[in-house]
Amino acid sequence: MTNVALIGYGYWGPNLARNLHELPNCRLQVCCDLDEGRLALAQTRFPHIRVTTRFDDVLQDGDIQAVVIATPARTHFALTKAALRAGKHVLVEKPLAMSSQEALELIDVAREAQRVLMVGHTFEYNPAVLKIKELLKDNQLGDIYYAYSTRVNLGRVQRDLNALWSIAPHDISILLFLLEEMPVEVSARGASHLDRSIEDVVFVDFLFPGGVTAHVHVSWLDPSKVRRMTIVGSKKMVVYDDLETEGKVKVYDKGVLKVGDGQIFGEFQYRLHTGDIYIPKIDMSEPLRNECAHFLECIEKQKQPQTDGASGLRVIKVLEAAQESLRRRGAPVEIS
Amino acid sequence: MTNVALIGYGYWGPNLARNLHELPNCRLQVCCDLDEGRLALAQTRFPHIRVTTRFDDVLQDGDIQAVVIATPARTHFALTKAALRAGKHVLVEKPLAMSSQEALELIDVAREAQRVLMVGHTFEYNPAVLKIKELLKDNQLGDIYYAYSTRVNLGRVQRDLNALWSIAPHDISILLFLLEEMPVEVSARGASHLDRSIEDVVFVDFLFPGGVTAHVHVSWLDPSKVRRMTIVGSKKMVVYDDLETEGKVKVYDKGVLKVGDGQIFGEFQYRLHTGDIYIPKIDMSEPLRNECAHFLECIEKQKQPQTDGASGLRVIKVLEAAQESLRRRGAPVEIS
Amino acid sequence: MTNVALIGYGYWGPNLARNLHELPNCRLQVCCDLDEGRLALAQTRFPHIRVTTRFDDVLQDGDIQAVVIATPARTHFALTKAALRAGKHVLVEKPLAMSSQEALELIDVAREAQRVLMVGHTFEYNPAVLKIKELLKDNQLGDIYYAYSTRVNLGRVQRDLNALWSIAPHDISILLFLLEEMPVEVSARGASHLDRSIEDVVFVDFLFPGGVTAHVHVSWLDPSKVRRMTIVGSKKMVVYDDLETEGKVKVYDKGVLKVGDGQIFGEFQYRLHTGDIYIPKIDMSEPLRNECAHFLECIEKQKQPQTDGASGLRVIKVLEAAQESLRRRGAPVEIS
Amino acid sequence: MTNVALIGYGYWGPNLARNLHELPNCRLQVCCDLDEGRLALAQTRFPHIRVTTRFDDVLQDGDIQAVVIATPARTHFALTKAALRAGKHVLVEKPLAMSSQEALELIDVAREAQRVLMVGHTFEYNPAVLKIKELLKDNQLGDIYYAYSTRVNLGRVQRDLNALWSIAPHDISILLFLLEEMPVEVSARGASHLDRSIEDVVFVDFLFPGGVTAHVHVSWLDPSKVRRMTIVGSKKMVVYDDLETEGKVKVYDKGVLKVGDGQIFGEFQYRLHTGDIYIPKIDMSEPLRNECAHFLECIEKQKQPQTDGASGLRVIKVLEAAQESLRRRGAPVEIS
């Protein structure tokens, strides 16, 4: 049984609280937020827990072994660092921090403190993403050509973070998880329609070492909610629509076949192939519950989390490069 | 009654033939193609027309007043030029030519020959696009923030043209038609997965003078057919899905409202607004039929077509800039 | 503040518990179930409440003013009667009882005890249904011709209740609520595919006094979850799809117009009219929460509930007639 | 090569004409209709054929070997009989005739004349239906429990035929084709909302000898076009949606498993099973083209058509029983 404190009961905190509360090997003991109104709400839902506005009290509470941080992104670094130094295991929402410098420091602090540092890249605990990973492992798609993702909605206009930093970490973590390599080059374009200084629409292109490309579209200024990723392989193609209830993952037996040997005029002919579509059954477990359970398991068994500090760092390195390209209006930026 | 010859009976030609055949003020007299098999097919469907492999015969046929050209893009320039010089009115498929240099020359030749020169930017004759134009004219969307378009499919792998030149002319012509201005800057990324030298996936970003941005995604390497454009305005938002039967154009009474005067810390608050959705009735007429009818009307009444040579030139200038950015892996390219 | 006990923590109970727990003027104090495992689960989620297997203890608990009953249908009558007699206000899940005889008795007992008796016809608290009611009140649909409803799923195979009694109360309560009259005749067909004696698929036809007809299809043996009702009027038509997120209620400006005066051969001509589609914004509040809030308000203000005993009785009278027709393999049965 | 005359160029005739015109072993020579305007239209589309208002001329034309009849249903009997007697092979639209008496007579006349008599039950030539037939043949669905079909639209209000006779022949022919048996009992309810005497909405229930049940809903008074059939088996379930482009046939690995031996209290437990969904590739050929080709093949090879007179008769026997039940407001009617 791990005693946990939840830091931040804003937009995402209630989801974490619900899952932490229901996990059998977890005791949600404290909820901390600067906003008294939010604390009152937490108290109503969970009459048996303590609520506080003082983060330091949580750090000094010897009963608390782990903290889960769901505060604004710009506070992640300081809160995580303090918690690790106070000997707490930490699960922090994405992005891990606001720079790779900060991320590196957190990795060091966690190692020294011998505590679990885990980032909330939720989609790596999503059964649909895990099913796609399985398809890739089995080489069912053939060579991967490219992937693209759209994650848009009307909602949650951020004031301190652009759409790249607030939404794209999801897509980037999925891409790195599935492709198992870092992109070598990134190009990004964005626009700030509501607020001069904060991009509310961002498009990012990725080039991976082996020639795979990817594209991500994120925005909080869209009429419809879309969360869809397409992966195009030489043998099969996958569409992952997170909002579908009946067919989250569709595997298309579709492709383009090269015909001929290319010796005449160096040219190939192409033939389209269209076959069956297959919708694998996806485990219905809630990704966030799986994520929380994984955090607890890593604490109990002293394991390295799937989405550890290094994972958080990788995502931030990509975000930094994309941010630099954004500044240069799409010019390609290399990632070392 | 205008006597018409159709040049090219490949992928698109049969659609043109069907519409030309059925228009009451048009007499489809000749079909010309280099491929005897295609001509035999044309002859079966239209037993009363003449078929020929010799383009010159068409040019010398005094009975033919107009030609409709649906041949591979790289032949558009030469065939159109020859036809105009032979005194024929010309409707040529997009893109008008392969460079703005060529497009300018065709505009000149048409002017000298006093013949109609029209480009097949079909979507400008599409009732759904015309309905959106009407909404914009009525200022129903408020200030336009941005638009994005996806036009992908598995099919028609091109050997001599990349996805930018073969598919994006549709999206570019729609954007220029709706926004009524040229972009000042373009950025494009693409990838050649099937064939080293031809991009089968291309993403293009546009910046318009007033700050409006746009994004286009084209590909012939996709599991699903998608033809969708979203337009985000300050007051309302529009989704145009060309494959929908019941709701091609959806108008969302949705937006983000700025709250407060921004004087405290220079910051605004944002409030989301979500209201009704409205699906206007769209005239069911076939865009290609409307386009052909417009061509005939321009001949009969000596009118300038909606999609004239200048329209064709504008699309090509955007394509050229995008192609240059593609070469420079996303670096922004200005359009003069 | 009303002190409430929840009786039954099976399939539906947890939803009631969550809503009762979160309503500000309600104190969920006790949860009662015969199954210790279910009680343990309730205790985990709501550590501050009492759990018990003894219904009598609840009845004798003077602190409890109201009970909410979510037990198997065949127990509704006895539990509700006992609770009313013990002076508790009662919200009981549908169907209110298993016969109109029982329902009449419960109405009497509630009147004598001067306690609120309310049936959980949830859809009468559903904002989408209320929006349709509003459209009907405004006469926007013209004369109502007919309505039909499909409520199917794979799931919850019942052992003691057929699909008519377990699912159709929803559709019947919606129809009676919208049309504000009782049907005069009912015809029903069904089939028992899994179990000889219990119909898992039932179709019911209704004839209302003014000539309006309705049709209901219920089943728990279906590959897809469907919850859809269509209402056809002379001026407009409505499709209500409860599983849609973006367009739960669609209002079609569609109809068939009579043309001519019918004097020649007594015949009319018909012309189809197709106009815009309109998707009104629907309040996102949870129907069950609205229902629970209404129950509390009726207790506090001594009001008659929207879905009172008489409402429960009307639904049961229709169910009884349908059951009789089912027995007679579709033969029409009158409702007095 | 078979010389064919098309009788009737109204709603459906143009589709037949197009397919007959394009089939390589068919020569569409004559089009006959009472309406000069329709004939003019046919002449424009097919300038090389003859048009006439005189059916007798067609009968006496020795060059014509076959006629295809697409006239109003009440004329099918007389025209078909006359054509067969004149020595023509006949493909006639559904329903074959207006009574089983008439159908029997046509079967006799065709046998005596040794001519092909085929009914246009198009869906038996639909690749999606053939795929489902294949699944059933392979016993992939296990025992069939039941099927239900919805075929509604706003359109084609009929003046001389109710929705049962004008639309339901499609569903009935599909059901008989798939299940390979006749129903033993039918129950039908309908309502006449536009016109006192003609039902525009009809629901029909079928009981087949082995216990399989079916349900059909037809109407021309509906906001949306729906053409969907669901087939529920003990092992798998199929949804066939004719309007889907990507997934016309979906095979759900879903079912309800009986658990236990039923010896305790004679009761079984049920467990839901939900697995993958599979969308088989469906041949894209046009059903009507397949139907026309089959007609020509039967003429050439002196074969009995899949949808011969006996098939037409079976559908009519079901329609007659349903009509009788309709008259008796849902009371069950046996089919001998």
- Report pLDDT digits (tens) over D85-110: 999 999 999 999 999 999 999 999 99
Contact B47 D47 (CB under 8 A): yes
Q: In this complex, do C277 and B275 lie within 8 Å of one another by their Cβ atoms?
A: no
Residue D332 clears pLDDT 70, i.e. is over it: yes
Q: What residues are paired with C69 via a beta bridge?
A: C7, C92
Q: Give, rounded to a whole angstrom, the gap between the first and last alpha carbons of chain A.
A: 42
Cα of D24 to nearest chain A Cα, Å:
26
User: Are A35 and A306 within 8 A, CB to CB?
Assistant: no
Sheet holding B2-7, edge to edge: B50-52, B26-32, B2-7, B66-69, B89-93, B117-120
- Cβ atoms of A324 and A330 within 8 Å: the answer is no
What is the SS3 assignment for D283?
Answer: coil
- Its sign, for the CA torsion B21, B25, B27, B28, is negative
Q: Are the beta carbons of D280 and A280 separated by less than 8 Å?
A: no
Of D48, D225, D246, the CB nearest to B224: D246
Over the stretch D191-244, which tens digit does the pLDDT of each residue have? 999 877 899 999 999 999 989 999 999 999 999 999 999 999 999 999 999 999
| pLDDT, block means (10 residues), chain A with 336 residues | 97 97 96 97 94 98 98 97 98 98 98 98 98 97 97 88 97 98 98 89 97 97 96 97 94 86 61 94 96 98 97 98 97 95
Q: For the domain D127-286+318-334, what is the CATH superfamily, name and number?
A: Dihydrodipicolinate Reductase; domain 2 (3.30.360.10)
pLDDT tens per residue across span D162-179: 999 999 999 999 999 999
Question: Which residues from chain B sit within 8 angstroms of residue C280, using beta carbons?
Answer: 276
Please, what sign has the CA dihedral across residues D49, D51, D55, D61? negative
Give, for D188, the enclosing helix (H) or strand (E).
strand D185-191
| Residue in chain D nearest B22 by alpha carbon | D45
At D154 the pLDDT is 93
Cβ–Cβ pairs < 8 A, chains B and C? 26
* Contacting partners of chain C (3+ CB pairs under 8 A): A, B, D
Percent of residues, chain C, with pLDDT higher than 70: 97
Is the CB of C278 less than 8 angstroms away from the CB of B281?
no
Which tens digit of pLDDT belongs to each residue from C162-191? 999 999 999 999 999 999 999 999 999 999
Residue B197: pLDDT band (50, 70, 90) is confident
Hey, which chains touch A, using 3+ CB pairs under 8 Å? Answer: B, C, D
- CA distance to partner chain C, nearest, from residue A97 (Å): 33
How far apart CA C104 and CA C107 sit, in angstroms, is 5
* B262: alpha, beta or left? (left if phi > 0; alpha if psi -120 to 50): left
Q: What is the ipTM of this complex?
A: 0.94
Total number of residues shown for chain D: 336
Quick check: D146 pLDDT over 60?
Answer: yes
Q: What is the pLDDT averaged over residues B93-110?
A: 98
Chain A residues whose CB is inside 8 A of the D277 CB are 246-247, 278-279
Chain A, nearest residue to C26 by Cα:
A44
Select from D21, D47, D224 the Cβ nearest to the Cβ of B48: D47
Q: Chain D partners of C148 at a C-beta cutoff of 8 Å?
A: 217
**pLDDT score at C92:** 98
- pLDDT value of residue D262: 57
Contacts of D275 in chain A (CB under 8 A): 281
Taking alpha carbons only, the member of B226, B240, B118, B219 closest to residue B174 is B240
- CA distances, C198 to each of A2, C188, C219, C316 (Å): 48, 14, 11, 18
Give yes or no for a contact between D256 and D235, defined as CB atoms under 8 angstroms apart: no
* CB contacts < 8 A (C, D): 137
Query: Is the bond preceding D183 in cis, omega lying within 30 degrees of 0?
Result: no
pLDDT for the residue C257: 81
Band (B261; pLDDT cuts 50, 70, 90): low
CATH number of D2-123: 3.40.50.720
Identify whether C209 is preceded by a cis peptide bond (ω within 30 of 0). no
Q: Does C161 score more than 70 pLDDT?
A: yes
CA distance D217 to chain A (A): 25
Interface test with A, best of B193, B194, B229, B257 (most A CBs within 10 A): B193
Stretch (H or E) spanning B112:
helix B100-113
Q: Which of C27, C46, C153 to mutate to test the interface with A (most CBs of A within 10 A)?
A: C46
- Write the single-letter amino acid at A277: I
pLDDT of residue B160: 85
CATH code, residues A126-286+318-334:
3.30.360.10
Q: How confident is the model over D293-328, as pLDDT tens digits?
A: 999 999 999 999 999 999 999 999 999 999 999 999
Name which of B230, B238, B332 is nearest A330 (Cβ-Cβ): B332
Whole-number mean pLDDT of chain C? 95
Show me where the domains of chain C are located: 2-123, 125-286+318-334
Nearest-by-CA chain B residue for D225: B246
pLDDT above 80 for D130? yes
**Residues in chain D closer than 8 A to C218 (CB atoms):** none
Count of alpha carbons within 13 Å of C195, Cβ hemisphere only?
23
pLDDT of D263 reads 57
Distance in Å, alpha carbon of B45 to nearest chain D alpha carbon: 7
CATH topology for B2-121 is Rossmann fold (3.40.50)
> What fold characterizes domain C125-286+318-334?
Dihydrodipicolinate Reductase; domain 2 (3.30.360)
Could you tell me the CA-to-CA distances from A56 to A79, A82, A112, C294, D103 in Å, in that order? 10, 9, 21, 43, 90
Residue D20 three-state SS: helix
Q: Domain B124-286+318-334 is of which CATH architecture? A: 2-Layer Sandwich (3.30)
Give chain B positions within 8 Å (CB) of D44. 22
**B47:D48 CB<8 A:** yes
| C233 pLDDT tier (thresholds 50, 70, 90) | very high
Fill in the DSSP letter of residue D198.
Answer: B
Question: Which site among C144, C145, C198, C207 would you substitute to test the D interface, given the most D Cβ atoms closer than 10 Å to its Cβ?
Answer: C145
Instruction: Note whether C157 contacts D272, CB cutoff 8 Å.
Output: yes
Do the domains A126-286+318-334 and A2-123 match in fold?
no
